[in-house]
Amino acid sequence: MTKILQFIAQHMGYLWVGARFQIAGSQVATSFGTDAVLFVDSSRLRLRFVSDRDQLSLDFRPVTGADPRHWYSIDIVRRMLQGKPETSSLLDRSYAEFLRDNLDEIEARFSEENWPSTRETLHKLELQRSKELFG
């Protein structure tokens, strides 16, 4: 959990400005390198920060109206907005800056009214990424 909290404190303090996001839950496993998950919510968007084997990732889904088992990684979300494939899905400073600069649009796309078309777009991008990676 420490790695997630340190990364957020260093690069994503904007999440807390105006009480826009709040911590919604967490989980920590003490085996296999102390893996952890932190859930952070706004009124429309749920973020899932994952620390797994000393690597960080960030996933998205709407707060309401989505399958709670399905998440969309930050590389797919950035691809949706910028139209180009990413070389990594690991959370880094570049992704933190992308989220900061595009947070309003991302929240709008994950809103209840826009979710059906956003889900379709993200699903197509996931299929495209799979074809690119695995043929």
d(CA 40, CA 37): 10
d(CA 97, CA 24): 22
Tens of pLDDT, residue by residue over 2-55, are: 999 999 999 999 999 999 999 999 999 876 666 999 999 999 999 999 999 889
Quote the tokens at residue 119. Answer: 């889900």
pLDDT score at 34: 61
Q: Which of 105, 95, 17, 106 is nearest to 49 (CA)?
A: 95
pLDDT score at 45: 97
Q: Which of 52, 62, 42, 51 is nearest to 8 (CA)?
A: 51
Tens of pLDDT, residue by residue over 53-107, are: 889 999 999 998 888 889 999 999 999 999 998 989 999 999 999 999 999 999 9
Domain ranges of the chain: 2-134
pLDDT score at 32: 65
